[in-house]
């Protein structure tokens, strides 16, 4: 750049060998998203689908992190939810079970209302509940597709939107987290509608992140890989039937051939990432889908 094109004051400072320091005032959010206000003693979280598997691991990990937890699942899993509540209380945190189907908006609204009434202002919503089904594309029925999206997509929307409205009402920000999957990046054969539902979660997470930012609400998703849970046991069994493999062989094959770290994931691998996303350390992250798969998908 020609010296003559610069402002005279700056030209003079250059001739003197030093430029004046320029201070730029950038607006800052001084309040961390997940840290509750002074008058709120504890952080609170709702974890859907937390009677077992990944949801249970998340609920227990957040309790260890200092959260009081609303343990949600469907009525059929009430016993498991009660057991998780007992484990959380043994850690010295408060918890209670609330049975609700996330695909039903009215039930989700009652879920959030109950959590706020029982535990206090809502800081974090973990929309973890989901289902899977192994079926060839051309064998899918309208009911198969509808049910998959009702739970995996509508369920996440119901949780995100209802929790966001509560957080906006509270005026103190918050965190929304959703369960995606590695199939949100690369679909698996015979899991087409499950894959599509998780792509939708990833997209919805980004959309919510854009619109919730002004309310100091961050929105992120976590994408597990092959996890040793009841869901993946079902996938293994059904894929085995179609391919003539024994139970356990499909997961072993995927583990050996696909996972760089050479082992199947456990629920605690996922809960550690959710713990981070729920913490103040992740306050400057939003709209992201974080993969925890041992090295199947590289982003």
Q: What is the pLDDT of residue 161?
A: 98
Closest alpha carbon to 33 in 122, 109, 95, 156: 122
CA distance 293 to 287: 19
Choice among 194, 222, 254, 284 that is catalytic = 194
Q: Over the chain, what is the mean pLDDT?
A: 89
Tell me the pTM.
Answer: 0.86
Pick the residue with more confidence: 232 or 150?
A: 150
Contacts of 142 (CB under 8 A, 6+ apart): none
What mean pLDDT do residues 92-112 have? 98
Q: Is the pLDDT of residue 127 over 50?
A: yes
Q: Which of 24-38, 53-67, 263-277 has the lowest mean pLDDT?
A: 24-38
> Domain spanning 39-225+266-292: which superfamily?
NAD(P)-binding Rossmann-like Domain (3.40.50.720)
Query: pLDDT per residue over 74-86, tens digit each?
Result: 999 999 999 999 9
Closest alpha carbon to 63 in 82, 86, 33: 86
Residue 67: active-site member: no
* Best mean pLDDT range from 32-41, 234-243, 266-275: 266-275
The residue ranges of every structural domain in the chain are: 39-225+266-292
Model confidence at 28, pLDDT cuts 50, 70, 90, reads low
Q: What is the pLDDT of residue 10?
A: 46
């Amino acid at each position: 750049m020609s010296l003559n094109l610069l402002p005279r004051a700056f030209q003079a400072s250059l001739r003197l060998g030093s430029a004046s320091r320029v201070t730029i005032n950038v607006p800052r959010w001084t309040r961390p998203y997940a840290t509750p206000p002074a008058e709120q003693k504890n952080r609170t979280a709702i974890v859907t689908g937390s009677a077992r598997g990944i949801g249970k691991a998340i609920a227990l990990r957040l309790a260890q992190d200092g959260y009081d937890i609303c343990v949600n699942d469907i009525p059929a899993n009430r016993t498991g939810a009660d057991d998780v509540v007992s484990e959380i209380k043994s850690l010295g945190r408060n918890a209670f079970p609330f049975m609700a189907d996330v695909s039903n908006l009215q039930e989700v609204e009652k879920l959030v209302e109950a959590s706020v009434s029982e535990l206090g202002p809502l800081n974090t919503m973990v929309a973890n509940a989901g289902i899977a089904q192994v079926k060839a594309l051309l064998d899918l029925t309208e009911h198969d597709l509808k049910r998959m999206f009702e739970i995996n997509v509508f369920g996440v929307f119901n949780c995100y939107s209802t929790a966001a409205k509560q957080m906006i009402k509270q005026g103190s920000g918050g965190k929304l987290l959703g369960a995606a999957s590695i199939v949100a990046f690369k679909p698996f054969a015979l899991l087409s509608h499950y894959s599509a539902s998780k792509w939708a979660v990833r997209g919805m997470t980004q959309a919510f992140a854009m619109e919730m930012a002004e309310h100091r609400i961050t929105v992120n998703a976590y994408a597990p890989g092959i996890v040793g849970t009841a869901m993946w046991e079902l996938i293994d069994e059904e894929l085995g039937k179609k391919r003539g493999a024994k139970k356990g062989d499909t997961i072993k094959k995927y583990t050996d051939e696909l996972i760089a770290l050479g082992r199947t994931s456990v629920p605690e691998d996922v809960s550690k990432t959710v713990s981070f996303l729920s913490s103040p350390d992740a306050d400057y992250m939003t709209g992201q889908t974080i993969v925890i798969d041992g090295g199947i998908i590289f982003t």
